Amino acid sequence: MSLTQSNYTQTSAALPNAMVIFGAGGDLAKRKLIPALLHLCNAGLLPDSFAVLGLDRLDLDDDSFRDLMGEHIRDHVGAAFDQAVWERLIGRLHYMQIDMLDGADYERLRGRLSEIDTQRETEGNYLFYMAIPPSLFPHVTSRLGETGLLQETENDWRRVVIEKPFGQDLESAVALNHELHDNLDERQIYRIDHYLGKETVQNIMVFRFANGFIEPLWNHHHIDHVQLTVAESVGVEHRGAYYEEAGALRDMIPNHLLVLLGFIAMEPPNSFESSALRDEVNKVLDAIEPLSPEDVLRHAVRGQYGEGDMPSGEKVKAYRSSPGVDLQSRTETFAALKLTIDNWRWAGVPFYLRTGKRLAAQCTEIAIQFKKAPTVIFKNTDVEQVDPNMLVLRIQPAEGIQMSLGAKVPGPTMGVGIVNMDFCYEDYFGNKPATGYETLIYDCMNGDATLYKHADTIEKGWEIVQSVMDVWAALPPRDFPNYAAGTWGPTAAGALLKNDGRLWRRIKIPNK
């Protein structure tokens, strides 16, 4: 990634490499990875010396693998599909059937990769992408290590992309990091969170640090509170069995929401180098005040959706009726937290986080509410109060920035109304087709880990939510389901802010 340029404006192709996709017949590979490679190919960002080697247990050869990917690519790329570009990419796709649990298959893999490397001149650089169940990560990396495939020389590199979830709790995350470190240096590990591939997340940093007027306001003197929302209108789809084990808190808060919080709250880094950014994010996570069991009862809310009507009019069933979900399930599909950051900049500023499934809208945003202006100059007028300014960083959909300002309502009397200054990326920079994985894959090929997660960040995220998980496990919920699909979550989520004299922002998605 280059933060001085925008996504897709890079002009140079990535370094030569062979990308080995473990789980190439799976959902992630078909829906995201191959489409992302097509977009990179279209943008001229894949090197000429490039190949993909797909691995899975499906009985396929190169041709039938290409056919399989071809069957899906149009659905996932949509109108952006370009046959000529696809033909450029497809010739570089290779396949090998493998049982990832069988050590002997890794010797075959070594031989096959060596052939591809010579044929495609990929210079011995291998990017191993783990699009497989997390339980296999330690096993696969260990077999790769034993086979010597993770061994770098002065002239080539070996990198491993790990998909979330990075553990199920603090203990398992620490164990996973240990297991990965048995065979890999931390600098070879790329833990991916595609939310961080989004342009607006990168733009948080540009917005904060390239605009001189923002930084002086970015602190407890001027900011009343911050709201982070990752709302999904979809249910668990076909991932019920996975979600039953995860739940909204584990699935979204330690990774996506806390890292967004880190970018919003961090001090200016010395540079955009990945280690400088990571250190600043980690300092924020370190400064989050731990939640005692009493705090969890007061500052954490969980919910599960029952049946309901979505804003589109669609009637949807309760979470407990989803495939793979227990009829008595106690898994939360909604979680909200109030956190505070114990440092100079943020003393006394609450950060409210919420995430859930089957909510009233599909959106990710960060809303920063400024303190109210004094109304003293309006005395003896009809103005009783002036609404505070709110700055909204929209991550999806319609990525952009919105600022609400008070303005005089035209007329003979004094009235103050709220007007919005609204900037949408698409209006200025166009809309590039993207899955969210393009920047991240390109960065990994170039050895830039800025948007990837370090072991420390993962463990700190789990430390923060562990006390919530412990209390919730000890006190199973008795009121589930406690919100209707198509709403903004349980009443207790509203009360979390109301008790502090605040309200969740009423989210309106711009028509784009």
Ligand X SMILES: NC(=O)c1ccc[n+]([C@@H]2O[C@H](COP(=O)([O-])OP(=O)(O)OC[C@H]3O[C@@H](n4cnc5c(N)ncnc54)[C@H](OP(=O)(O)O)[C@@H]3O)[C@@H](O)[C@H]2O)c1
Binding mask 8-27 for ligand X (x = CB under 6 A): ---------------x-xxx
Q: Which two tokens stand for residue 210?
A: 């390239």
> Which range, of 128-136, 387-395, 406-414, 451-459, touches ligand X by CB under 6 A?
128-136
- Measured over the CA atoms of residue 124, residue 130, residue 131 and residue 136, the dihedral's sign is positive
Please report whether residue 267 would count as binding ligand X according to CB under 6 A.
no
* For ligand X, the closer CB: 98 or 310: 98
- Residue 43 backbone class (left: φ over 0; alpha: ψ -120 to 50; beta: rest): alpha
Q: Which segments of 220-285 are extended strands (E)?
A: 223-231
Please report whether residue 247 would count as binding ligand X according to CB under 6 A.
no
* For ligand X, the closer CB: 77 or 131: 131
Rounded distance, CA 482 to CA 445, Å? 45
454 is an active site residue: no
* For ligand X, the closer CB: 27 or 500: 27
Helix 455-474 crosses helix 274-287 at what angle (to 10 degrees)? 30
Among 44, 91, 111, 133, binds ligand X (CB under 6 A): 133
Estimate to the nearest angstrom the gap between the alpha carbon of 97 and the chain centroid: 31
* For ligand X, the closer CB: 56 or 459: 56
Q: Which two tokens stand for residue 138?
A: 């330690």
Among 70, 134, 138, 477, binds ligand X (CB under 6 A): 134
Q: How far is CA 171 from CA 58, 222, 283, 413, 430, in A?
A: 34, 38, 21, 63, 44
Please report whether residue 231 would count as binding ligand X according to CB under 6 A.
no
Spatial CB neighbours of 103, under 8 Å, sequence gap ≥ 6: 143, 146
Please report whether residue 132 would count as binding ligand X according to CB under 6 A.
yes
* For ligand X, the closer CB: 136 or 424: 136
CB of residue 302 to ligand X, shortest distance in Å = 22
CB of residue 232 to ligand X, shortest distance in Å = 13
Of residues 360 through 419, those in contact with ligand X by CB under 6 A are none
Q: Which of 39, 94, 194, 256 is catalytic?
A: 256
Of residues 33 through 92, those in contact with ligand X by CB under 6 A are 56-57
Binding mask 154-173 for ligand X (x = CB under 6 A): ---------xx---------
* For ligand X, the closer CB: 28 or 144: 28
The CA dihedral of 121, 127, 130, 131, to the nearest 10 degrees, is -60
Rounded distance, CA 333 to CA 307, Å? 13
Catalytic residues: 256
Question: Residues interacting with ligand X, by CB under 6 A?
Answer: 23, 25-28, 31, 56-57, 98-101, 131-134, 136, 163-164
